[in-house]
Amino acid sequence: MALVNPTQLRAEKAKNTQELSIGSAKQTCENVTSDLPKHDYGCDANEVAHSEKYRVTPGTSNLSFVLNEPHSVSYVERPVPKLSAPHDVLVAINYTGICGSDVHYWDHGAIGHFVVKDPMVLGHESAGTVVQVGNAVTSLLPGDRVALEPGYPCRHCEECSAGRYNLCSEIVFAATPPHHGTLTGFWAAPADFCYKLPEHVPLQWGALVEPLAVAVHIVKQARISPGASVVVMGAGPVGILCVAVARAFGASKVVSVDIIEARLDLARSMGATHTYLSQKASAEQNAKSLLERCGLGRGADAVIDASGAEPSIQASLHVVKVGGTFVQGGMGKSDITFPIMAMCQKEVTARGSFRYGPGDFKLAVELIANGSVAVGRLITAVVPFAEAEHAFRRAKSGDAVKMIIAGPNEVLSAGC
Ligand SMILES: [Zn+2]
Ligand SMILES: [Zn+2]
């Protein structure tokens, strides 16, 4: 099948449906919900020059954003991937969110034992448009808008067979060395790892499905029952999404904890019933005042750490109730001082959480589609592909919640 121009394809589909994505249908801006961000190019003169240099023809380029070594990036025109299996589809990438891990690779060139030795394309939180389908694909058609699940397990090992494919040791995960990521023009993927977005869900929101799936997996690990009380440590994108998912799962009291007031305001708008601004005090002291101020009495049914910060993890064990559940979702230092006595004496159930498994992406799409999780509120700005590095700098500065990069095949219409 010939390669289809994704922008043209979506424009055609938009004739009969309310096209919400900005790139292909400037004339329908009034349909964009208030949750969509205003474009913020936020670039200086140098970056504009940079942008001119890398201007591409939408729908044709496989220009990729490549990390060579820390703080050294380049744009490389790579061959458009070919479908390697009959169940694969080719997706034109429209939007990609920047994750903390992408920023970490850009900044340090490694995360733990994953070291960027050869130039690597960054990005793994993407949404795009299907432009080609393999012979055996029945679930998708060219023109379908999809969120990408960016890790492909072997499907044969013990973990895969047991339904824990996120723990597959053979998994090929985007932008985890040595594998390239999704900040590129076209991406080939198994059809069952591409999740069709309903027509009313803007394509930009599709880039938020990946972090939402992370939150879904974490909250599932907390085994929340209706009416439960949940405390979420950390109000970064995943922490805030955990708050929203916990509410969607039936928790009646959800406390968001952070050191930045603005993040707590956002958490409140996403469903937190209470917030707690961490104080410069001991973990035990912070836990005590949190429980008092939030009326949590003997402790929370479940505590989720979405920060990876040692003091938060320590406070979590003092916040959780006797017999409660603690889930470690955030990744920080690999070794910390852990209040093991509190865990032992309270018979706390402690679980880890890593990426996402069966059903998590599907549920994430449903939570967005039915309005349970307003992911659009997390988007700080959408920048053109040519200013990708600017987006990384802004993401690192800490004043952004979620930066989105429009793919090389997406046209951003300024002033929309
Ligand atoms: Zn991510
Ligand atoms: Zn496997």
CATH number at residue 187: 3.90.180.10
Top-confidence range, 18-22, 72-76, 332-336: 72-76
- Domain count across the chain: 2
Q: What is the mean pLDDT of residues 130-156?
A: 97
Between 31 and 305, the more confident residue is 305
* Same domain as 226, residue 185: no
For residue 56, is it within any domain? no
Give the tens place of pLDDT for each residue, 156-207.
999 999 999 999 999 999 999 999 999 999 999 999 999 999 999 999 999 9
* Same domain as 191, residue 102: yes
**pLDDT computed for residue 332 by the predictor:** 87
For residue 5, is it within any domain? no
CATH number, domain with residue 322: 3.40.50.720
How many residues can be counted in the chain? 416
* Same domain as 347, residue 263: yes
For residue 207, is it within any domain? no
* Same domain as 123, residue 65: yes
For ligand 1, the distance from its centroid to the CA atom of residue 175, given in whole angstroms, is 10
Nearest bound ligand to CA 209? 1
**pLDDT computed for residue 245 by the predictor:** 98
For residue 298, is it within any domain? yes
* Same domain as 176, residue 236: no
Contact in structure between 384 and 249 (CB atoms under 8 Å): no
**pLDDT computed for residue 154 by the predictor:** 97
Give the tens place of pLDDT for each residue, 279-331.
999 999 999 999 999 999 999 999 999 999 999 999 999 999 999 999 999 99
Nearest bound ligand to CA 168? 2
For ligand 2, the distance from its centroid to the CA atom of residue 172, given in whole angstroms, is 10
For ligand 1, the distance from its centroid to the CA atom of residue 8, given in whole angstroms, is 29
- As a three-state string, the secondary structure of the chain is CCCCCHHHHHHHHHCCCCCCCCCCCHHHHHHCCCCCCCCCCCCCHHHHHHHHHCCCCCCCCCEEEEEEECCEEEEEECCCCCCCCCCEEEEEEEEEECCHHHHHHHHHCEECCEECCCCEECCCEEEEEEEEECCCCCCCCCCCEEEECCEECCCCCHHHHCCCHHHCCCCEECCCCCCCCCCCCEEEEEHHHEEECCCCCCHHHHCCHHHHHHHHHHHHHCCCCCCCEEEEECCCHHHHHHHHHHHHCCCCEEEEEECCHHHHHHHHHCCCCEEEECCCCCHHHHHHHHHHHCCCCCCEEEEEECCCCHHHHHHHHHHEEEEEEEEECCCCCCCCCCCHHHHHHCCCEEEECCCCCCCHHHHHHHHHHCCCCCHHHHEEEEECHHHHHHHHHHHHHCCCCEEEEECCCCCCCCCC
For ligand 2, the distance from its centroid to the CA atom of residue 126, given in whole angstroms, is 23
Instruction: Return the bridge partners of 125, or none.
Output: 97
For ligand 1, the distance from its centroid to the CA atom of residue 125, given in whole angstroms, is 6
For residue 362, is it within any domain? no
**pLDDT computed for residue 12 by the predictor:** 52
For residue 154, is it within any domain? yes
* Same domain as 168, residue 69: yes
* Same domain as 240, residue 346: yes
For residue 251, is it within any domain? yes
* Same domain as 108, residue 234: no
* Same domain as 288, residue 253: yes
**Per-residue pLDDT band at 10 (split at 50, 70, 90):** low
Q: What is the mean pLDDT of the chain?
A: 87
* Same domain as 279, residue 397: no
* Same domain as 251, residue 192: no
Between 40 and 168, the more confident residue is 168
Range of the domain at 233: 222-352
- Lowest-confidence region among 4-18, 176-190, 344-358: 4-18
* Same domain as 180, residue 265: no
For residue 27, is it within any domain? no
